[in-house]
Amino acid sequence: MDAKTSSADLSGEAGSEVEAQGARRTRVSGIDRALQVIDYLYETGAPTGAYAIAKAVKAPLSTVYVIIDDLVEKNMLARNADGSIWLGARLYHYGLAYARSLDFMSVATHEMHDLCRQAGETVQVCGRDGDYMLVLAMADGPSHYQVASRVGTRVPLNWTASGRLLVGHLAEAERIELFKRCARTSPTGRAEIDARTLSDSAGKAFEERLSIQVAESDYAVACIASPVCDRSGECVATISIVLPEQKVVSDGNHYTEHVRASAQRIEKLMGWRNH
């Protein structure tokens, strides 16, 4: 009798464990689907409809509708008047809380605003997001000159001065393979796409702590960037001045000195100037 009871108990416990594992798998799958929806919106950078989302993440439309409704209810997503879906206010608040927790972003943002005042031009702090450069922070200059790449913009690494610096510390073979995979033709047609040439220019720019691009991603727009390197000497971010291309031609040295000094100050304040 005891053996039977024990066997039944064990069977019940085993069944409960299987059910619990199944429930956990279901929850993880739901979380994965929700992240796929959010990631797709983030990557496309524009509101879109449920059908396009379902097609992109390869999920049943009915499943995507349920996920979207749930995320909209929780303010993780927002539904526009035309029915399109976009990122919600709750994600913005999470992002702000995360940014406040990062000492680096605090230091870099402070330096970014100082450089903006010194140079009188728009300044950006950029990082790497896989095969792309990502604008992490931005201070608008006092002029009416408008910069297309705002915070959150992702641009192919080969289009920008910062993009090259962000991979300049990598081994040559690794840089070449990376650019073979991710180099894209820019809207102006002036961005280099040859992997070996890009690798050479990235390595040289990193050694010189300076990268300059003129009208490669946008017409009449130039960028002067310097790397911010951690204790191991890897480029974790860049700080750059974005300005009209004629200013680089007429007075480039003035800006290069400022941007190099700003990158070095960030490293010093972070305790990274031992590389």
List, for residues 140-170, the tens digit of each pLDDT value.
887 766 666 788 889 999 999 999 999 999 9
Model confidence, pTM:
0.66
Query: Which residues are CB-contacts of 129 (< 8 A; sequence separation ≥ 6)?
Result: 154
For the cut 50, the answer to whether the pLDDT of residue 244 exceeds it is yes
For the cut 80, the answer to whether the pLDDT of residue 26 exceeds it is no
Which has the minimum average pLDDT: 71-80, 132-141, 143-152, 164-173? 143-152
Report d(CA 38, CA 203) in Å as an integer: 35
Q: Parallel, antiparallel, or unpaired: how do β-strands 77-79 and 221-229 relate?
A: unpaired
For the cut 70, the answer to whether the pLDDT of residue 72 exceeds it is yes
- CATH 1.10.3720.10 is held by the domain 2-88: no
Q: Strand, coil or helix: what is 181?
A: helix
For the cut 80, the answer to whether the pLDDT of residue 87 exceeds it is yes
Query: Can you give the pLDDT at residue 9?
Result: 47
Query: Can you give the pLDDT at residue 89?
Result: 92
Domains 2-88 and 102-270 are alike in CATH topology: no
Average predicted confidence (pLDDT) for the chain: 85
At 239, list the tokens: 């700080």
- For 17-45, what is the mean pLDDT? 71
Q: 102-270 belongs to which CATH class?
A: alpha beta
Domain limits, the chain: 2-88, 102-270
Query: Can you give the pLDDT at residue 76?
Result: 95
The DSSP code sequence of 140-160 is --SSS---S--TT-EEEGGGS
For the cut 90, the answer to whether the pLDDT of residue 25 exceeds it is no
- Cα–Cα nearest to 168, from 266, 236, 255, 112: 236
Give yes or no for a contact between 238 and 225, defined as CB atoms under 8 angstroms apart. Answer: yes
- Cα–Cα nearest to 42, from 152, 129, 182, 137: 152
Report d(CA 2, CA 72) in Å as an integer: 53
Give yes or no for a contact between 122 and 140, defined as CB atoms under 8 angstroms apart. Answer: yes
Q: How big is the CA angle at 66 (ends 61 and 67), to the nearest 5 degrees?
A: 95
Query: Can you give the pLDDT at residue 253?
Result: 76
Distance in angstroms between the alpha carbons of the first and the last residue of the chain: 73
Question: Could you report the per-residue pLDDT of 181-225, keeping only the tens digit for each?
Answer: 999 998 888 888 999 999 999 999 999 999 998 867 667 788 999
